[in-house]
Amino acid sequence: MPARIDHVITAGPSLEALEDAFTRLGFSVVGGGTHPHLGTRNRIIILGEGYIELLAIADPARVSPTLRQRVASGVAWVGYALQSDDIEAEAQAMRARGEDVRGPTAGRLVAPDGSARGWRVVTLGGDDLWAAALPLPFLIQHDSDGERHRRELAGADPIAPHPNGARRLLGVTLRTADPATLRSHYERAFGLTPATSPTSARYPLAGGQEWIALERAESAQVTLSIRVEASDLAAVEAMARAARYACIASADALSVSLPSGGQIEFSASI
């Protein structure tokens, strides 16, 4: 079973515009570089052991047609990855459950100063990373972990607390008109066991603190939102309103809509 949510990816035609949108919401944006094998470039928002990846196309001739279409259509969250502590064993277990598993395949990011970091990924149903990133995630195992990995994500930038008090990724919610079919795909692919209700299923991950939720929606298109733990919801709300982002507050949560259409739900720290 995957250990945790590794990262969630939002993409747009302008990396600078994405960075500005998240900075105005109080996130510190760091690191990044280019993916020579994918034709993309990125910046990073570190959240605990995971991160949000801000992504844009760097080389249109090399980039996946799937990603190009998602960026052109204005899809905010274009996919996500689950972190594996033993990707070879995970891949073998998935094959034993009858899945069409591709990889592990090596990936690499090159920072502006020429330094590089690497990882391996496993995709389902095809070799195109972006076709395999949503509605099911891809698996990833980085070449480093712990604090060393966080330092590599940050690159030449310091790791500082987020002004909005964001601390870590808590969960990913996918909404679909057919949650039963998607549920069977998740359970077979990743060996997950859900807590279910008539309209939703929630899957705790092996690390014990993060989850994936599948919910029923009217739209045939699968949409994704993320949940982030924050130390001060009032500070998040103040920053969202100052940036003129739509937000809905409740007693213990705050939902914020980004200019791209993406949604982030903030929960108070436990």
60 upstream amide cis, omega within 30 of 0: no
CATH for 166-268, options being 3.30.465.10, 3.40.50.720, 3.40.640.10, 3.10.180.10: 3.10.180.10
- How far apart (Å, rounded) are the C-alpha atoms in residues 85 and 34? 25
Q: What is the pLDDT of residue 167?
A: 97
Position 236 scores a pLDDT of: 96
The pLDDT value recorded for residue 239 is 97
Cβ-Cβ contacts under 8 Å for 265 (sequence gap 6 or more): 173, 225, 226, 227, 228, 253, 254, 255, 256
Q: Cα–chain-centroid distance for residue 223? A: 13
CA distances from 241 to 24, 25, 258 (A): 10, 9, 11
Count of residues making up the chain = 270
Q: What is the DSSP letter of 135?
A: S
Q: Which CATH number fits domain 4-154: 2.40.50.140, 3.40.50.300, 1.10.8.60, 3.10.180.10?
A: 3.10.180.10
- Local structure of residue 199 (DSSP, 8 states): S
Q: In 3D, which of 246, 108, 136, 75 has the Cα closest to residue 255?
A: 246
Distance CA 78, CA 70 (A): 7
Q: What is the pLDDT of residues 162-203, one digit of tens each?
A: 999 999 999 999 999 998 899 999 999 999 988 877 678 999
Q: What pLDDT was estimated at residue 196? A: 72
- Using alpha carbons, select from 212, 215, 225, 217 the residue that is nearest to residue 177: 217
Fold equal for 4-154 and 166-268: yes
- Enumerate residue ranges in the chain where pLDDT < 70: 198, 270
pLDDT value of position 106: 97
Enter the pTM of the model.
0.96
Alpha helices, DSSP H only, in the chain? 15-24, 65-73, 87-96, 146-154, 179-190, 233-242
Domain coordinates in residue numbering, the chain: 4-154, 166-268
